[in-house]
Amino acid sequence: MSVTPDLLTEHLLDAARRAGADAADAMAIAGQSLAIDVRAGQLEQAERAEGVDIGLRVLVGQRQASVSASDISASTITALAERAVAMAREAPEDPYIGLASDDLLAKDWDIAALDLCEDAPEPEPAALQEAARAAEAAAQAVDGVTQVQSASAVYDRRQIALATSAGFAGGYTLTDHGLSCVAIAGQGAGMERDHDGDGRVYHADLRSPEEIGRLAGERAVERLGARKPPTGAYPVLFDERVARSLIGHLLGAANGASVARGASWLRDRLGEQVLPEGMDIVEDPHRPRVMGSRPFDAEGLPTRRRSLVENGVLTGWILDLANARKLGLEPTANAKRGVGSPPSPGSWNIALTQGTKSRDDLLQDMGTGLLVTSMIGSTINPNTGDYSRGVSGFWVENGEVSHAINEGTIAGSLPEFLRRMTPANDARTHLSHVVPSLLVEGLTLAGA
């Protein structure tokens, strides 16, 4: 590519000024990706893509508009800026929009310390195909697996640049290696499906194809013979694979956009107990080799480590500039955006305090109840936190797994049961969201 993403953002800002914008920010992403799918030992699909996407947000007074394109010619950039300014002039006024002032902008950062990009050539398609084939073969070798639905290996590399007319300019490069496998066990109406996968910045950090395939197969076989759970109030252990969704709901309620709209069950609970004492949620955008790490946010503010929840107490919101202004607070450098949209708040890497017991210890503690390994659907009242989800997993009797469960529904008050969770110590620390298995007492379970 002859024109780099950082140069493209300069061209976009220049075009915005010529078109009459009072202020603007620009984003450019140059990416390449490769995906290989294998079925029955043979290559089923191979896709490779390269491209550049550009995005421009312009401000005319207190009005804004965002536009994007995948054509980077000078004529397109000029037309894009003119169209954006014309759109902004017709947009409603928003007193809270605006670029970050110079005193808020990131001035320096150590992108090398984040280690977000593997300095290595793009992998050969044959290598990805072999990895996918090995995962499929390992799953198929598990006794009880009848077929492997898919085995995929992917690679992605993106160069990202951001610049604002207020003087900020920065960028970074991300690499992503992934491998996944979906296995099916059983026959006919008794078929069950499960999966495993891994994604890392560095290829060397990926778990082996053999482990991923084997685990996908074993999980599928374990689900055979599933039946509906009983109805009643039981303890529920959310497996580490799904437990992060509970914390995700809390993060969603702490999102500044929801709080500013008044559509959050946390809106009046700042400084109150939302988790058990001794539990923290720490946001750390500077963890090396983690795909959720960033040196600055989508508005050019320097990211930093902080506690969202400390000793169980909610200490702050997740804010971009506009929502911070709405709430009369300082921004927290949590702005995210795509090339075609304005910034909005979102969390970076988070970690929930882990417990001292293993998942098996918590199974023993729960006695009789449900181990949830998969969830479908979601009904959560954003104002009250009333919670209901379809689940599958395993029934537990006397601390031991008895049989597989499906077609169940769990319900309860999210604000209440988050305050009585017990964490295990099994969280995978390389993930962007580090959340262990979580035991919750007394949820309502509906099944047979």
pLDDT at 1 over 70: no
pLDDT band at residue 448, thresholds of 50, 70 and 90? low
Retrieve residue 350's tokens. Answer: 């988070």
- Output the pLDDT for position 190: 84
Type of residue at 81: A
Indicate whether 407 pLDDT > 60: yes
End-to-end CA distance of the chain: 60
Instruction: Give residue 377's pLDDT.
Output: 79
> How much is the average pLDDT of 92-114?
95
Q: Which of 190, 42, 209 is nearest to 139 (CA)?
A: 209
Which residues, 6 or more positions from 289, have their beta carbon under 8 angstroms from its beta carbon? 115, 116, 200, 201, 202, 205, 430
Question: Position of tokens 């729960």?
Answer: 366
Amino acid identity, position 163: A
Report the pLDDT averaged over residues 154-176.
97
| Cβ contact 406:223 at 8 Å | yes
DSSP class of residue 228 equals P
Residues 409-421 have a mean pLDDT of 92
**For residue 200, what are the β-bridge partners?**
177
Q: CA 14, CA 175: separation in Å to the nearest integer?
A: 30
The DSSP-derived string for 176-220 is EEEEEEEEEESSGGG-EEEEEEEEESSGGGSPPHHHHHHHHHHHH
Q: pLDDT value at position 156?
A: 97
* Integer Cα distance of 274 and 276 in angstroms: 7
Mean local confidence (pLDDT), 30-45: 95
Q: Are 254 and 327 in contact (CB under 8 A)?
A: no
In sequence order, the β-bridge partners of residue 196 are 181
Band of pLDDT at residue 356, cut at 50, 70 and 90: very high
Beta bridge partners of 176: 156
Cβ proximity of 405 and 370 under 8 Å: yes
Taking each helix axis from N to C end, the angle separating 209-222 and 125-140, rounded to the nearest 10 degrees, works out to 30
Whole-angstrom Cα distance, residue 404 to residue 207? 27
DSSP letter at 368 equals S
Q: Quick one: DSSP state of residue 424?
A: B
Beta partners for residue 157, in sequence order? 32, 175
What pLDDT, on a 0 to 100 scale, did the predictor assign at position 379? 80
Instruction: Please say whether the beta carbons of 163 and 100 come within 8 A.
Output: no
pLDDT average, residue stretch 192-197? 94
Is the per-residue pLDDT at 421 higher than 90? yes
Rounded distance between C-alpha atoms, residue 112 and residue 107, angstroms: 16
The span from the CA of 221 to the CA of 186, in Å, is: 8
- Write out the two tokens for 304: 């930093």
Tokens 């950090």 sit at which residue? 205
Listing DSSP states for 238-304 in one string gives E-HHHHHHHHHHHHHHTBHHHHHHT--TTTT-TTSB-S-TT--EEE-TT-TT-TT--SB-TTSPBP-
Instruction: Identify the burial level of 444 via C-beta atoms within 10 angstroms of its C-beta, where 0-12 means exposed, 13-18 middle and 19 or more buried.
Output: middle
Report residue 133's pLDDT band, with 50, 70 and 90 as the boundaries. very high
pLDDT digits (tens, 9 = 90+) for 234-251: 999 999 999 999 999 999
Taking Cα atoms as reference points, which of 399, 397, 418, 405 lies closest to residue 445? 405
Cα Dmax for the chain: 73
Q: C-alpha dihedral over 234, 275, 326, 91, to 10 degrees?
A: -40
In sequence order, the β-bridge partners of residue 17 are none
Instruction: Report how far apart, in Å, the C-alpha atoms of 216 and of each of 43, 205, 241 are.
Output: 20, 19, 13
